[in-house]
Amino acid sequence: MIEDNKPMKKIYLTILTIFSLSALDLCAQGFSIPDYKKALWMTTRMYGGQRSGTNNWLVYNHLPNGVSSNLTGISFAGDKDGAVDLSGGWHDCADHVKFGQTQFYSAYVLLKSYAEISNGYSDYYAYDYKGYKNANKWNWEDNAHAPNGIPDILDEVKHATDFFIKCTPNSSTFYYQIGQGGPDHMQWVTSVKMQTNAVSAGGEPRVVYKNPADASMPGFCGATLALMARLYSKYDPTYAATCLTHATYAYDYAKAHPGTVGSPDGGFYGANTHWEDEYVDLCTELFFATNNTSYKTEAISFANNTNKDPNIYYSFDYTNNGELAWYNLALLGQTAFKTKFIDHVNADFIGKVDGNGIYTGGGNWGTLRYVANAAWMAGLSAKLGNTNSNLNKFVYTNIDYIMGKNAQNQSFIVGFGAKNPLHPHHRNVYLSDANVGDAGQQTLTIPAKNQQFGYMVGGVRSGAYADQITNYQTSEGGIDYNAGLVGALAYINSVLAPVVNGLAEDLYGNNSISVFPNPSSDGFNLQSTADYTVRIHNELGKTLQEFNSSRVHSFGNNLQPGLYHVVFSQGGKNIKTINVLKQ
């Protein structure tokens, strides 16, 4: 009897150990797990409110007075260069220009975070938001999500990669900006209305910019497409193949155009400081997508050439992102860069805080983007094995501050928390086409549908926040502001409540395994690149089923509701375990 109880005691001890480790994390953070999940849902869905073209949920069903009904909810679908369709992509901030400097960067940051921290992300809704549309309910608490079996972050970034494919029609052509900042800023109206304005006031046809002497933007563009090709192959292999083809076009263009440029009209965005960083990212992702070692060799050549060694600057943002090149070189097996990355994070992010533990680096314009990016950097370093005892505390402290745990109880995420920005600098969120002046803007209110926008404003690191539309240095946000925040929130969720959906993959291995949908009230589908022996265990470790899987297999219809561990093995060796939830 004593011997028979040993396995059970071991299971209970393991459960107790896991609970104790989780409790240590919980003691250091200031919000509940549901709060972090809601915040990640909001800040991810924010990108759907930045969509140009169609399927922008902020302006869904919006039709300004005097505008043709065939433009209901549509923005700048006429963007083109001659016969080349350039519709789609993301509006940048409060404005409606599509700037390459921030768009290509933001998409890669979002997708890289999913690749590295996939068990922090969930699937609540579909690309077209059909659940919210059908129920006419748009808030988290309404639970009208209607998932589609694809992580929300991939749905959001796919709208960008659809546009990136258009930006790279061949190896010698690259589109990087649509619209101009000056005309775009002339009126305070929605994008649905603005497209019908005169060209001088931001209307169509908008100016198109292409073929810059730049490798930075095509570097991020191509890296995103190559990574999407890898991540999306199980959902749509044809689309994945298209992404990979256009990633190679971006590579050819970047290779032929070393250098960097800023935005071409008025300098709204500066040039990246070091084009080689993005080129390393591009080569790395092409290697992982194709297994062509020439890309790996080329990426590593930058690490071995002191004139091209990826550089680190004063903080991490769209112009200063050498950390990603270091991280990717570490993934390629360059252990020196793994050490450099972890040491840099510990010294220059985790070690650079004020008396309240808030990161102090970066600039004062859009200052909280630097706080969020620092937290994301720390989360990435944990994936490389950073054992700094202050790492999770640093992430929690900085993200909790953004969420509202501060002296003012001020959340800086539109729609999150009791005291959140009611007057963000953003035109579409108000659905107002009255073109009010500065004084009138402060009287605008966000309609109920759009109140949980998830848009992080630039904010402040100390003192009171002035909730004023016209104070755009602190009240405006943007696609690059939210990118690091989404990644940091995903890291927190992966630590406190890893997503049990089978979507986490061995992305850098040869044998990819996925189980979906998950959770499921019916059965589960298994897809893999190899054949396995599969065992299903209950929570106490008892084997309930065992079978040999083909590369496409269904199982679990007869399981009772509960949590199960699906163990994949080959030749008697366990390869991977995926947790599934039967509802």
Query: Which amino acids are annotated catalytic?
Result: 425, 467, 476
- What is the radius of gyration, based on Cα positions, of the chain? 24
Candidates 517, 579, 419, 499; CA nearest to 37 is 499
The widest CA-to-CA distance across the chain, in whole angstroms, is 86
Question: Residue 193: how many CB atoms within 10 A of its CB?
Answer: 26
Type and span of the H or E element at 534: strand 532-537
Phi then psi for 55, rounded to 5 degrees? 60, 35
What residue spans of 130-260 are helical by DSSP H? 130-135, 152-167, 181-184, 191-194, 216-231, 237-256
Structure tokens at 543: 């084997």
Candidates 30, 24, 27, 152; CA nearest to 417 is 30
Dist CA 470 CA 476 (whole Å): 9
Block residue for tokens 């561990």: 565
Block residue for tokens 């690191």: 461
State the number of CA atoms in the 13 A half-sphere of 174 facing the CB. 29
Distance separating the N- and C-terminal Cα atoms of the chain? 35
Candidates 200, 70, 187; CA nearest to 433 is 187
Structure tokens at 116: 């590295």
In the chain, DSSP finds a helix count (H) and a strand count (E) of 18, 12
List C-alpha distances in Å: 393 to 399, 405, 514: 10, 14, 32
Burial 1-25 (b: 16+ CB within 10 A, else e): eeeeeeeeeeeeeeeeeeeeeeeee
